[in-house]
Structures are given as C-alpha cells and as structure tokens.
A and B are shown apart, each in its own frame.
Chain A
Amino acid sequence: MMSTNQALGILFQIYQSLLVVLLAPLLTGWVNQCRAWLQNRTGPGVLQPYRTLRKLFHKDAVMAYNASPLFRTTPYILFGCMWLAAAIIPIIAVGLPFSPAADVIALVGVFALARVFIALAAMDIGTAFGTLGARREMLVSFLAEPALLMVFFTASLISHSTQLPRIVDALAHHQFILYPSLAFAGLAFVIVLLAENARIPVDNPSTHLELTMIHEAMILEYSARHLALVEWASSLKLFAYISIGIALFFPYGIAEAGDWRALPLAIIALLVKLILAGAALALLETLLAKMRIFRAPEFLGTAFLLAVLGLLIHFLLGA
C-alpha cells in the first residue's frame, strides 16, 4: 500500500511538472522583456511567447518533400526530454518521487539525447544551414557537456550523492558555508548555461543573420506545431538550466521533504529567484557581445577548465 506521504509526493510531482511546463514560456518572456527594457525598447510584454505558441499551433505545418519520420518525431522527443529534465529538478520541495529514476548524470544524458536528436533532424533535410547548425551545436556541446558534468560532480562530492534531491538537501539545509569549489563551479555553470541555451555571447536567440546562427539554423525547416514544440522545448530548457542553477547555488528557502506547510513560502521564494535570475541573464546578455564562432571553443574550454579546477579544489581543501 502507498502511504499518504507517497501519494502526496506523486501529486506534488505532477503539480511541479505542470507548473514548469506552463511557467517556462513566461520565463522566456520575462528575459526578453528585460532585454527590451535594457535596450530602451518597450518590448512585447511577458506574455508574448504564449501568443507566439498559440499562433504557431494553429498554422498548417509545412515540411520539405524529403523530410523523414525522424524529422517529424524529433520535436516530440525534444519536448519530452526537456519537460522531463525540468520536472525532476527540485526547486520547490526536496522530495520528488521520480528523481531516483534519473540522477544528475542521467540529467546530463537527457540533455544530450535531445541535442543529438535535434542535430540529426537539422541534417535531415540536407540544407546548407541545417548541417551548419548541427555541426556548430555539436561543437559547442562537446565542451559544454563535460563542463556541466564536472559542475555536477563538484556538487556531488560535497553532498556524497548524485541524486539531485540529496544534493539540494545537503546544500540547502546545512549550515551556511561558502564552498570555494562551488564558486568555480558556479562560474563554469553560467558559461555553460549561456552556451547551451543559445544565448549571447555564443549564439543569439533573436538573430536574423544566417551565418552566425547556431540553434536557429538547426530549426529553420520547422514550422507550425513542430516549431511551437521546439520553441517551447527551448523555453523549458532555459527553465531547467536556471532551475539547476537555483538548486545548486541558491537552494535556500526550498521546502523539506514532506513538509507541505512550507510549500507556499517555497513557491514565493522560487518566483523571486526566477525573476532575479531572468533579469540577471538579460543584463549579462546586454553587456556581452556576440563572439566569433571559433572563439566559442576557447570560451567553453574556459568553462571546462574552471569546472575541473573547482573539482580539484574540492579535493585539495575537502570543501
């Protein structure tokens, strides 16, 4: 028999899953709105991503004559992976019943799975921009992915677990210590976040210059509901990455496992953190300039080295 706690846990898991999938476009809208303000523009409002999604869902999908089934299925796979990733990161409460199924290494694996599929789909039509985007995406990720893994490893070594809830639990509910290794990891994580979510300085989400595109080049051939799913998945990915950042570096305020009365406070804390993180991201993007594609490996190499350095410092200092 399931205990009440377990039943509540599953309910909570469903609740968080729905919350993230509905909230993710809002976060994207907020970041875009902040960017507009920082650039002295009025901006379309934070709800714009929802309007775009609604418009896209209503259109007829146009696909190239030689699109294979892989091309058609990829948006669903992408969306599924990103939703799963965003749903298993503990941001409101520590106890998430689904989390033992996938730990941080599996989380990195989910991102990799989605990336491989979108890169393959980009190559499916056989256009110049599609393969270009796929190649660049894989180039960016082959350095960003190990850096992300190393960030997770640093946190895992501190908390003696690769389970996200345990990591967050260990980091949030113990006495406040400034871990030097986590500082390095945090810096590396910011770089990975920028690169993996196609933000400036590696890529530009609102670019219209074909030659500099990475992510946008891959999804050029998608339209209507497929494009909507891809865009939504991108929002979910950004949400997931920001959640990871919050979970690893600012977990304070999260509810203990089974402590349901702390939930309202935790949700408010989360919203505040998300608003701040989105504004910070917009500020960062406004301050930085897009770099040449061949500077990107150096930039990401820095992230990788910083993450490894963080790991080494953990071994040196034991903290």
Chain B
Amino acid sequence: MDIAGVLPLDVAGLAVVLWMALGLLGLALQRRPHLITNVIFPLGAIVSLVLAAAGLWAIGEHASYAVLPLGLPGLPLHLGLDPLSAFFLILLGGASLGVSLFSAGYFKSMQGNTLGLLCLEYHLFLAGMALVLLADDAYMFMVAWETMALSSYFLVTTDHNVPDIRKAGFLYLLIAHVGAIAILLSFGVMQGGHGIGAYTFAAMRAAHLSVFWSSVVFLLALFGFGAKAGLLPLHVWLPEAHPAAPSPVSALMSGIMLKTAIYGILRVTFDLLGAQQWWWGMLALALGLITAIYGVMFAAVQADMKRLLAYSSIENIGLLLVGIGLAIIFHVYGKDALAALSLTATLYHSLNHAFFKSLLFVGTGSILHATGERNMGRMGGLIHHMPWVAGLMLVGVLSISGLPPFNGFVSEWLLLQAFLLSPGLPNNYINMLIPVAAAVIALAAALAAYVMVKFYGIIFLGQPRGEAREPAHDAGMFERIGLSWLALVCVVLGLAPVFVVHQLDLVTQLLVGRGLGNAAAGWLFLAPVDIDRASYSPVFFLLAVLGVMLVTALVVHYFYHGRTRRGPAWDCGFPAQTSRMQDTAEGFGQPIRRIFEPFFRIESELPSAFDTHPRYHGRSEDRLWFALYVPIKRISEKLSSWVSLLQHGRIHLYLTYTFVTLIVLLAFV
C-alpha cells in the first residue's frame, strides 16, 4: 500500500531530516532556552511518533529502497527499509518519544548555551541512530554509526568540567572506536575485493564467502557490535558512561543505542551471512550467559543508582545475545520454527528493555533533580515525596524483574519456551549444554529481581537516610508525561503479546525464513507452538489476580469493620529506632558480595571497635578491569614511551627524520 506514491521510507527519511533541523534550530535558539525545552523537545517527540508510525507501516510492507544523491562521486548512499529495520525504528521512535517528552521538563534548569549544544547533539544522536537502522550499504552505515558514536560522546561529556566525566567519556569513545574498526573490517571482508560497487548490503548478501572468511566476518562483527552493546569483556564503558551522562541521555543510550548493536548483529549474522556455523551460536550463547550473570552480579553490589542500572543493561544485553545464539543454533540445524521462536523472544526483549530501561533511567533523572544524590545509600522514603515517579517506576521495576503480567515476563517466557523445545538437536554436546544455559538464565532472572527490590526499596521506601535536606519534589508535567508514556507501553506490551508476536513474525520471516504462524489461540492466549504445549494469557491472569484481590478486599471490609489506626513502627518493641538502622545499598548487596566473592575485587576499610566516629568503607570492583585493561594500558604506555624517544621538540631533528625517510623511500622506488 502506498499513499499517493509515498513510501514508508520517505516518511522515515523525512523524520531524520526533521530531527537534524530541530537540532540546528535548537543551536540557533540558545539565547532563548525556554523555547528549546518547551517547543523543540516536544516537537522532537512528535517526530519520534512519526518515525514509529513509519516503522509500524513498513513492517507489513515489502522492503523499499532508495539511492541518495549524496556521498562521494560514484559512491552514492543507499537507504533501505525492510521489516527488521522497521521493527527497530518502532523501538527507536516509541522509546525516544517518552524520553524526549521527559527531556522537555528535565533540561529546564540548564544554561542556554549548553542547552543549545545539547539540543543539537541530542537530535543528531537520534537521527544517527535512525540512519544506522535505515542504512543499506556499509558506507552509509559507518557514517551513521560514527555520527551516533560522536554525538553520544559529546552528550556523555555534557558536564565536561568534571574530570571523572571526561575520563568516562574518553573510555566510551575509545571502546566505541575499537568496535567501529572491527565493524569496518567485517564489512571490508564481506565486500572482499568484489569491486568498488560491492559495498551495498545487497551485494554482500549475494557474495558467497568461504566458511573461514564468513567466520572471520562473524567474529569481527560480534566484537565490533559487542563493544557497543557492552558484551563481556568490552562492557567497562557502560558503568562509567551511563552515570556520567544526563539521565535522558543514559536512557537513550541504554534503551536504544545498545539495541542498534543488537540490530547490527542480527543484520550481519542472519541477513548478510545467513548464519552458517553452529559454533557461532554456541559462542554467542556462552558469551551472552557470562555477560548476563556478570552484569546482574555487579548490579547487585552497586550503590550508585545509575551504575546499578548500567550493569543491569549489561545483563539484559547478555540475555539478548543468548536468544541470538540459540536462534543461530536452531537455524543451522534446520529447525527454523524454533529459530523463529528464539528470535521472537530476542526481539520482544529488545523492545521491552528499550521501554523499561528508559523509564528507569529517566526516573533516576527526576530523583537526581529532587535530591541531588546518585548514591542510593543517602535516599529513602521518596515514595512519600514523589508519588508519581515512585508509582510509574514501580511499573518499570516489576517489568524488568520479569514478573507477570508485565512485559519483561513475556519475553522471558518466550525465551524459556525456546529452551524447553531444544531437545532433538543432532549435536549431543549442544543438547547437554542447553539445559545448563536455561538454568543460568533462570538464575540471572531471579537475581535481577533481587537487584530491583534493592533498587526500589532503598530509593523509595523506608525512611530518609541522609541528613535533613529540603523535601524532595515530584517530577514536573513534561517529566510525568514522558514517564507515563514509557510505563504505559510496558503495561501494553505485557498485556497484548499476541499482537506484538504477530508483527514480529514478519521480521523473523525475513531473518530465518519463517514466523511462528499461529502464535495464538484466539487473541487472548499466547501459544507459540500449540495450545497443548504451552500457553499464557496475561489478560486473564491480570483479571484473575485483580478479581481475587477485589473480592478479598470487599469481603474483609464487609464482614469486618476495617478500622485502621496509625502509630509508631513496632520493630519488635525496640524503642531507639533510627533511620541508619535500615540497610544501605551496600548492606542489601552484601549477601551477593559474599556468595560471589571470587568475582569481585573488594577493598574495604573496617573501623576498629574503639573508633568514636566509626566509618565503614567498601568498594567492589571489576576484576576484569585489572586483569585485562590495566595491562593493555601499561603496554600501550610502554609502546608510546618508545615512540617518544624520537620526540625531542627540536625542529632540525624532525627535518632530519623527514630527510632520512625520503632517502629510504627513494631507495625503494
């Protein structure tokens, strides 16, 4: 269907152009900051809506392609919009809609000139992500990828006066570029000397690589996109960059940008290479499992709320990669229905994570504004001061913990179903390993609930822990709208899985050649294989729980008096209650630190029994940082120190170098 010759691709392209224009307009308006927050950001949110609509339209259509009259001579830029791109455009548009609305309220207090620049970078970042999804050749893809990386680097370093933030930004930039080089190389191998025109995705799809070279491509792509996604051991930038960035930016990076890396892996592995080797899947599965457990373990011991969420993102990326790995394995062994099921779970989880993680990250922004604190150990009792933020973030917390009837549960359910259907693969090793993988997934999911109880309980519940400060204020109107949108989508995605899975069929059709088909018995029951095998109906579930609750409440209040008195807390009659007797963030994570002790590098200072002002100090650090990154840093410093032997700062010496080089070169020519 095309309306008056307009294709979804045109609409998506228009949205990208509009975002760029809005960014420039924001820069021009930097003397009038209230216009930027009250007009530009809401307009950006409307563009998000347009983009999401274009994606929804395109997902059921044939792929459309366009060649732009831009680029180098003879190397035009190609755009394409197929169901895979369309799905991720919906994700981008839907999640950024909420984040942009939230930003309209959040950035109100910012200085004009910083705000103007931020507005430009913010919208360029969005446009860059959209172009990554729309790119149909390696050239366009890399340009968009770099736009995304650089604009997000500048966004991370918005508060560049703080040295730690500059450091975090540098680390992010470095790892992003190491990854980008790997991606570039993988495209280079795929293009593989097929001539100058072979840089389009269509040409790469047609090129038949040998097993060796396609494995090289896969490994390079996994490394490159893994660096962006936060795959172990390339995850170190996430817990640094996310707390450094302003909260809406963290939301975009964690909720959406990480998914562009997932998009990249799916695009290269399934679309361009056609997933040929079972060990690719095993590698992705193993890496994903390690990443998931590692991420959630570290999330449990964090005290900084944004670092906690960053580690939780690492966990979720791990789960996504597990789904991808499983899909590769099934696809290689010709079980495409199961591959479609695992891919559906992966895509569904991408969508879910985009919404609940954005919700939680922007929520931390409101908390940050209200309290000026990132350390959860100084919060507490915020539910009384910020009921809106508390209520909406509860939805996010329940969703991310994978609890029915919210959305996180649906994707977890689908993924576990895929695991349960795995028997019967012709490879015995894989058959044995997959149940172990399922166990690890279950463990990660249960730990995620631990982390989220800690996150919500320490921040919002209990009594205020810090010193008396002015009472926290609730979020403003735009912030509330943004939060509400993200929470609403979490609920809808949880209650209407049948509809979503139908749409996802079109994507899996593209990737592995088939969908789940009759994924549902009626519109109420999600049944990916058949109704006898497994089914789940969140609507019935919700109605049952609510119905039972209502009946109980009515009965209790009808038969009994339902009187309530207020009094001081009981706490076993202990009179000298203070708020410091509650668990701090460190205290709540202590059992995890103790159980998984070998994984952490723990520094702690314990007070002696005679201290009059005892202070406890503990830090749990990442062993990988010390085992991997510190040596690399040392080696590179060593190498640079050798290079610096050449450097003396005297011009005649440098002229001599030039002269010698010329002589040597002449000898060769």
Report yes or no: B569 in contact with A125, Cβ–Cβ below 8 A.
Answer: yes
Report yes or no: A128 in contact with B571, Cβ–Cβ below 8 A.
Answer: yes
Report yes or no: A142 in contact with B443, Cβ–Cβ below 8 A.
Answer: yes
Interface string of B405-437 (1 = CB under 8 A from A): 000010011001101100100000001100110
- Name the residue on B nearest A60 (C-beta): B563
In the assembled complex, B449 has its CB within 8 A of some CB on chain A? yes
Which chain A residues border B457 with CB–CB below 8 Å? Answer: 119-120, 123, 131, 134
Q: Of the 9-residue stretches B101-109, B139-147, B576-584, B638-646, which lies at the interface with chain A?
A: B576-584
Report yes or no: A221 in contact with B570, Cβ–Cβ below 8 A.
Answer: yes
Report yes or no: A65 in contact with B548, Cβ–Cβ below 8 A.
Answer: no
Q: How many residues of B contact A (CB 8 A)?
A: 87
Which chain A residues border B571 with CB–CB below 8 Å? Answer: 125, 127-130, 220-221
- Could you tell me the distance in whole angstroms from the C-beta of A58 to the nearest C-beta in chain B? 6
- Name the residue on A nearest B447 (C-beta): A142
Which chain A residues border B590 with CB–CB below 8 Å? Answer: 135
In the assembled complex, A231 has its CB within 8 A of some CB on chain B? no
Query: Which of A76, A116, A136 lies in contact with B398, CB distance below 8 A?
Result: A116
In the assembled complex, B568 has its CB within 8 A of some CB on chain A? yes
- Could you tell me the distance in whole angstroms from the C-beta of A258 to the nearest C-beta in chain B? 16
Report yes or no: A142 in contact with B461, Cβ–Cβ below 8 A.
Answer: no
Report yes or no: A64 in contact with B556, Cβ–Cβ below 8 A.
Answer: no
In the assembled complex, A16 has its CB within 8 A of some CB on chain B? no
Report yes or no: A304 in contact with B525, Cβ–Cβ below 8 A.
Answer: no
Report yes or no: B536 in contact with A225, Cβ–Cβ below 8 A.
Answer: no
Decide yes or no: A146 and B582 within 8 Å by CB, A76-B552, A229-B552, A308-B435 being known contacts. Answer: no
Report yes or no: A146 in contact with B404, Cβ–Cβ below 8 A.
Answer: no
In the assembled complex, A153 has its CB within 8 A of some CB on chain B? yes
Q: Of the 9-residue stretches B282-290, B478-486, B526-534, which lies at the interface with chain A?
A: B526-534
Which chain A residues border B566 with CB–CB below 8 Å? Answer: 62-65, 67
Report yes or no: A77 in contact with B549, Cβ–Cβ below 8 A.
Answer: yes
Q: Of the 9-residue stretches B216-224, B501-509, B539-547, which lies at the interface with chain A?
A: B539-547
- Could you tell me the distance in whole angstroms from the C-beta of B596 to the nearest C-beta in chain A? 10
Among A60, A81, A130, A141: residue with most chain B CB under 10 A: A130
Report yes or no: A112 in contact with B403, Cβ–Cβ below 8 A.
Answer: yes
Interface string of B442-476 (1 = CB under 8 A from A): 11011101101110111001110000000000000
Which chain A residues border B463 with CB–CB below 8 Å? Answer: 66, 126
Report yes or no: B588 in contact with A105, Cβ–Cβ below 8 A.
Answer: no
- Name the residue on A nearest B536 (C-beta): A106
In the assembled complex, A316 has its CB within 8 A of some CB on chain B? yes
Report yes or no: B588 in contact with A131, Cβ–Cβ below 8 A.
Answer: yes
Decide yes or no: A102 and B536 within 8 Å by CB, A116-B401, A142-B447 being known contacts. Answer: yes
Decide yes or no: A76 and B549 within 8 Å by CB, A101-B525, A135-B583 being known contacts. Answer: yes
Which chain B residues border A135 with CB–CB below 8 Å? Answer: 583, 587-588, 590-591
Which chain A residues border B380 with CB–CB below 8 Å? Answer: 126
Report yes or no: B532 in contact with A131, Cβ–Cβ below 8 A.
Answer: no
In the assembled complex, B497 has its CB within 8 A of some CB on chain A? no
In the assembled complex, A302 has its CB within 8 A of some CB on chain B? no
A101 to B546, CA, bound (A): 14
A67 to B454, CA, bound (A): 18
Q: At the interface, is chain B mostly helix, strand, loop or mixed?
A: helix
Report yes or no: A150 in contact with B439, Cβ–Cβ below 8 A.
Answer: yes
Decide yes or no: A109 and B532 within 8 Å by CB, A57-B560, A84-B545, A120-B457 being known contacts. Answer: no
Report yes or no: B381 in contact with A126, Cβ–Cβ below 8 A.
Answer: yes
Report yes or no: A128 in contact with B581, Cβ–Cβ below 8 A.
Answer: yes
In the assembled complex, B601 has its CB within 8 A of some CB on chain A? no
- Could you tell me the distance in whole angstroms from the C-beta of B663 to the nearest C-beta in chain A? 69
Which chain B residues border A256 with CB–CB below 8 Å? Answer: none
Report yes or no: B439 in contact with A308, Cβ–Cβ below 8 A.
Answer: yes
Among B413, B436, B571, B592: residue with most chain A CB under 10 A: B571
Report yes or no: B439 in contact with A311, Cβ–Cβ below 8 A.
Answer: yes
Report yes or no: A105 in contact with B416, Cβ–Cβ below 8 A.
Answer: yes
* Residues of chain B in range 19-33 having any CB-CB distance to chain A below 8 Å: none
- Could you tell me the distance in whole angstroms from the C-beta of B538 to the nearest C-beta in chain A? 8
Decide yes or no: A116 and B452 within 8 Å by CB, A124-B461, A153-B420, A315-B423 being known contacts. Answer: yes
Q: Mind listing 30 A-B residue pairs with CB under 8 Å? A: A57-B556, A57-B559, A63-B566, A66-B569, A80-B546, A84-B545, A84-B548, A105-B416, A106-B404, A106-B541, A109-B409, A109-B413, A112-B449, A113-B403, A116-B449, A128-B582, A135-B590, A142-B443, A142-B449, A143-B443, A143-B446, A161-B532, A163-B534, A163-B535, A166-B532, A221-B569, A221-B570, A294-B591, A297-B591, A312-B436
- Residues of A whose CB lies within 8 Å of any CB of B are 57-58, 60-68, 70, 76-77, 79-81, 83-84, 98, 100-103, 105-106, 109-110, 112-113, 115-116, 119-120, 123-132, 134-136, 138-139, 141-143, 145-146, 149-150, 153, 156-157, 160-163, 166, 210, 220-221, 223, 225, 229, 294, 297, 304, 307-308, 311-312, 314-316
Given contacts A100-B521, A116-B403, A162-B534, 16 further A-B contacts (CB under 8 A): A57-B559, A61-B563, A64-B568, A65-B569, A68-B383, A80-B546, A100-B527, A101-B537, A103-B535, A106-B404, A115-B449, A116-B452, A129-B571, A143-B446, A145-B446, A161-B534
Which 8 interchain pairs have the tightest Cβ spacing?
A126-B462, A146-B442, A126-B463, A123-B457, A101-B540, A128-B581, A127-B571, A131-B583
